[in-house]
A = this chain, B = another copy of it.
Amino acid sequence: MTESAYPPISDQLADLESAQEEGRRKMDWAAQHMPILEHVREEFVAEQPFAGERIAMAMHVEAKTAILVETLAEGGAEVAITGCNPLSTHDDVSAALDTHENITSYAKRGVDGEAYYDAIEAVIAHEPTITVDDGMDLVAAIHEDYPELIDGIIGGAEETTTGVHRLRAMDADGALEYPVFAVNDTPMKRLFDNVHGTGESSLASIAMTTNLSWASKNVVVSGFGYCGKGVAKKAAGQNANVIVTEVEPRRALEAHMEGYDVMPMAEAAEIGDVFLTTTGNRDVIVEEHFEKMQDGVLLANAGHFDIEIDLDALDDLAVDRYEARDGVDAYELEDGRRLNVVAEGRLVNLAAPVSLGHPVEVMDQSFGVQAACVRELVENGDAYGAGVHDVPDELDKEIAEIKLEAEGVAFDSLTDTQRDYMDSWDHGT
């Protein structure tokens, strides 16, 4: 294998030193609020679990991810990293990473398609023993173009839903040749990311985009899964009057029992002030609903894709459309009503101009699981066959323990007597 000629970021930047400094500053901010990775890093530094390993990464190279990268490097790994999206890289963070003796960073913002793939190849040229992906770029490139490396690879980890989805398809076709952990869907992630992360950051993004307040607003939350529960709870916590729409009767009943108003969207459309979709499904708010809405309503989406609000239909209905504010498109209807779409109906806690992506603490948890998965691969990789694997329950639990310890929260453990009692009960008489 020929070493790639694609240069690391340090060879590409003009004012390198100031970039490194600025990147380090951003990383310092994140690191202060990532107690799980801090704890994990201390362990890794002491135990050097990755000594001799080469980790290839393709992820969003910004401050939060950078702390994960450093954490792995401090654990003894030689890390090569590039971006997973040409627009999400922060050059300064990339440069700061590249100063670490164990890290080579090829990520650069705004590169063209060719350079993007050159950088991926440059990462692969390090002959990784482990891959960490955010969208399966590395897994795909290795399987297609560098199959000779597969024998040397212990396994990988994949961060995103979509990546996991594609990996499962690959797995189903028998084409996935090493084990990959599906980091996305652990219980801990749902709790942090969906309930608290999505809940809080969606509402704050909308408030800071619109200059409006929540108190007394009729907030229509579509979907009462984890995200919907989070949004509903946090909106009620800001003194909104929450209305829930659902298609699953037990979730509808759960919302009703919490004291929320539950009704069909056709009814909610008439009284809602703000609409927030969290269903993961398409066409949740459609033409018949737009027709009933009040002047001045806000429409936003906290689900993954921008398909929950039927903007095509809204566009057809509208006689005018203009940017009412930075991050808000007003659709004016024939009768003069204005329906205001926030962040183009895309994931509002990421896509609104003022949004900062997931809160630091959320990524700390998610990356904590990543780090634990990488360690699991090194220590017990043999136990996992080629294919997609759920994160072992024990790892998820361990991250919870680390978070609690890092925050100084102690809790009880079962005594032997209690353990015996539970066992006897579980196993029957």
| Complex interface: chain B residues within 8 A of A360 (CB) | 211-213
Beyond A188-B250, A404-B253, whether A200 also contacts B214 by CB under 8 A is yes
Q: How far is the CA of A359 from the CA of B238 in the complex (A)?
A: 14
Whether A54 sits at the interface, judged by CB under 8 Å, is no
Q: Is the CB of B32 within 8 A of A295?
A: yes
Whether A428 sits at the interface, judged by CB under 8 Å, is yes
| Complex interface: chain B residues within 8 A of A417 (CB) | 282-283
Q: Is the CB of A197 within 8 A of B169?
A: no
Q: Is the CB of A404 within 8 A of B200?
A: no
Q: Is the CB of A429 within 8 A of B245?
A: no
Q: Is the CB of A213 within 8 A of B354?
A: no
Distance from A395 Cβ to chain B, minimum over Cβ atoms (Å): 12
Whether A208 sits at the interface, judged by CB under 8 Å, is yes
Closest to A192 in B: B257
Please choose the segment from A94-102, A116-124, A260-268 that sits at the chain B interface, where 4 or more of its residues have CB less than 8 A away.
Answer: A260-268
Please choose the segment from A70-78, A85-93, A405-413 that sits at the chain B interface, where 4 or more of its residues have CB less than 8 A away.
Answer: A405-413
Whether A201 sits at the interface, judged by CB under 8 Å, is yes
Residues 157 to 174 of chain A near chain B (Cβ within 8 Å) = 165-166, 168-169, 172
Q: Is the CB of B207 within 8 A of A256?
A: no
Q: Is the CB of B216 within 8 A of A239?
A: no
Give me the interface of A with B, judged by CB distance under 8 Å. 25-26, 28-29, 32-33, 165-166, 168-169, 172, 187-188, 191-192, 195-197, 200-201, 203-205, 207-208, 211-216, 233-234, 236-242, 245-250, 252-254, 256-265, 267, 280-283, 295-296, 322-325, 328, 330, 338, 340, 354-357, 359-362, 396-398, 400-401, 403-404, 407, 409-415, 417-418, 421-422, 425, 428-429
